């Protein structure tokens, strides 16, 4: 183990990239997420007709815009002329116009109009790549990988979020300066209950199961779900067994399930190696009226969940965000030091992330170095 060297403190060695990484943790912290899946980029209501926005998938810039008819499109966020961000452009009908010289793009990314003189040259056949897009569950989803695979990789079916019997929902998102594996480990590894000791979204967890099956890691805990002073008054103990939770890293996203009555999904958009946009969906079949043996009517459920989001859920997620950003800072400075990791699920998440990233690299004929031993 390398000893701390004061002379290196001001210029720490940056963490290795995926191809140079020699142990599991370093590989996991440098791995991307496989692009051949759907990733959320924004809540639907954040993008109004006639507006454009920019995001990134693993460093690749993506412009997303909603045309005047309400349909959402996505293309690489760079003008084919001088690479300005198209997301800074203007929506014109169904097209996107670059702000600088006014080149106009159809929704398939093709340049279809140039408003200035061409000096006798023919109209250029230029385009930028476009991406499959869909809207569902209140989110805009983009498929950043091979477009031919978009239809073969459907979104998870979540019937509780649709139709007239839809459950009460809390939607929440945030951008954190941390690698996506740090977020995934945070939401599945409950050893960090201490961080949430004031809110107790889970309490006194005992890991009862952990198993990798294909591209999924299943984890179960016996734990008190929603054990905080206020929230537990809303959970109906007669109808919900809130002493157990199943979770799954269902690559590339995560879900949780408490007795088929309280569920969640978390989708991660890896913008780059140290920036992750997390999207959370928490949904509840019902809650009860505090101190009364009565189920809340649906109209009240939505209102109560709005308050719960502000008073309980958002603060808990903020605590997690604070912790993972500090973890990233620590990793940036001490990436070659060993970590005393006790939870067996962490290494399973890392193994799955690495395997899927190697699977992607293999399609690009990139062969990384073998991993040496266990995580250091």
Contact positions vs ligand FES (CB under 6 A)? 79, 81-82, 84, 98, 100-101, 103
Q: Residue 82 binds which entry of ligand FES, Fe ion, none, with Cβ cut-offs from 5 to 8 Å by kind?
A: ligand FES
For residue 77, cis peptide bond before it (omega within 30 degrees of 0): no
In whole angstroms, how close is the CB of 89 to ligand FES at the nearest point? Answer: 8
Looking at the Cβ atoms of 109 and 252, the one nearer to ligand FES is 109
Looking at the Cβ atoms of 104 and 320, the one nearer to Fe ion is 320
Measure Cα distances from 59 to 33, 53, 76, 274, 362 in Å.
12, 16, 11, 10, 19
* CB atoms near residue 206 (< 10 Å): 10
Q: Residue 79 binds which entry of ligand FES, Fe ion, none, with Cβ cut-offs from 5 to 8 Å by kind?
A: ligand FES
Give the single-character DSSP code of 7: G
Backbone angles phi, psi at 140, to 5 degrees: -95, 130
Q: Residue 331 binds which entry of Fe ion, ligand FES, none, with Cβ cut-offs from 5 to 8 Å by kind?
A: none
Looking at the Cβ atoms of 113 and 294, the one nearer to ligand FES is 113
Q: How far apart are CA 282 and CA 280, in angstroms?
A: 6
Q: How far apart are CA 180 and CA 313, in angstroms?
A: 20
Looking at the Cβ atoms of 203 and 360, the one nearer to Fe ion is 203
Residue 185, interface with Fe ion (CB under 5 A)?
no
- Which of the residues 279 through 338 are near Fe ion (CB under 5 A)? 320
In whole angstroms, how close is the CB of 147 to ligand FES at the nearest point? Answer: 24
Q: How far apart are CA 267 and CA 278, in angstroms?
A: 6
In whole angstroms, how close is the CB of 216 to Fe ion at the nearest point? Answer: 21
Q: Residue 81 binds which entry of Fe ion, ligand FES, none, with Cβ cut-offs from 5 to 8 Å by kind?
A: ligand FES
Radius of gyration of the chain (CA): 23
Say which residue the tokens 């993008």 belong to: 47
Looking at the Cβ atoms of 126 and 207, the one nearer to ligand FES is 126
Residues β-bridged to residue 110: 127
**By 3-state DSSP, what share of the chain in percent is helix, strand and coil, each rounded to 5?**
25, 30, 45
In whole angstroms, how close is the CB of 84 to Fe ion at the nearest point? Answer: 40
Looking at the Cβ atoms of 84 and 361, the one nearer to ligand FES is 84
In whole angstroms, how close is the CB of 52 to ligand FES at the nearest point? Answer: 13
Binding site for Fe ion (CB under 5 A): 320
């Amino acid at each position: 183990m390398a000893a701390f060297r004061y002379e290196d403190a001001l210029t720490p060695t940056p963490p290795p990239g995926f191809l140079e990484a020699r142990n599991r943790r370093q590989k996991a912290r440098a791995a991307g997420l496989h692009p051949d899946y759907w990733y959320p980029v924004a809540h639907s209501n954040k993008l109004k007709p006639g507006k454009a926005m920019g995001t990134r998938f693993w460093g690749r810039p993506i412009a997303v815009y909603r045309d005047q008819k309400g349909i959402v499109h996505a293309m690489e966020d760079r003008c084919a002329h001088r690479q300005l961000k198209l997301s800074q452009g203007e929506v014109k009908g169904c097209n996107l116009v670059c702000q600088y010289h006014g080149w106009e793009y159809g929704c398939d990314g093709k340049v279809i109009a140039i408003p200035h003189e061409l000096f006798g040259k023919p109209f250029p056949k230029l385009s930028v790549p476009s991406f499959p897009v869909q809207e569902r569950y209140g989110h805009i989803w983009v498929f950043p990988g091979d477009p031919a695979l978009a239809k073969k990789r459907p979104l998870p079916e979540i019937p509780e979020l649709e139709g007239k019997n839809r459950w009460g929902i809390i939607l929440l998102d945030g951008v954190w300066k941390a690698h996506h594996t740090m977020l995934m480990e945070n939401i599945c590894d409950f050893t960090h209950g201490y961080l949430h000791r004031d809110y107790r979204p889970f309490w006194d967890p005992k890991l009862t199961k952990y198993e990798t099956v294909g591209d999924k890691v299943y984890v179960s805990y016996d734990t008190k779900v929603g054990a905080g002073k206020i929230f537990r008054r809303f959970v109906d103990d007669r109808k919900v067994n809130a002493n157990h939770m199943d979770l799954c890293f269902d690559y590339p996203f995560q879900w949780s399930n408490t007795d088929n009555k309280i569920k969640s999904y978390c989708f991660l958009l890896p913008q780059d190696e140290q920036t992750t946009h997390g999207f959370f969906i928490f949904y509840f079949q019902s809650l009860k009226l505090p101190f009364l043996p009565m189920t809340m009517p649906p109209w009240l459920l939505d209102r109560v969940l709005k308050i719960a989001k502000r008073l309980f859920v958002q603060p808990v997620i903020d605590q997690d965000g604070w912790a993972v950003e500090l973890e990233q800072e620590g990793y940036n400075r001490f990436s070659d030091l060993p970590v005393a990791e006790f939870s067996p699920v962490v290494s399973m998440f890392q193994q799955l992330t690495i395997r899927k990233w190697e699977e992607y690299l293999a399609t690009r004929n990139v062969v990384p170095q073998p991993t040496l031993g266990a995580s250091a």
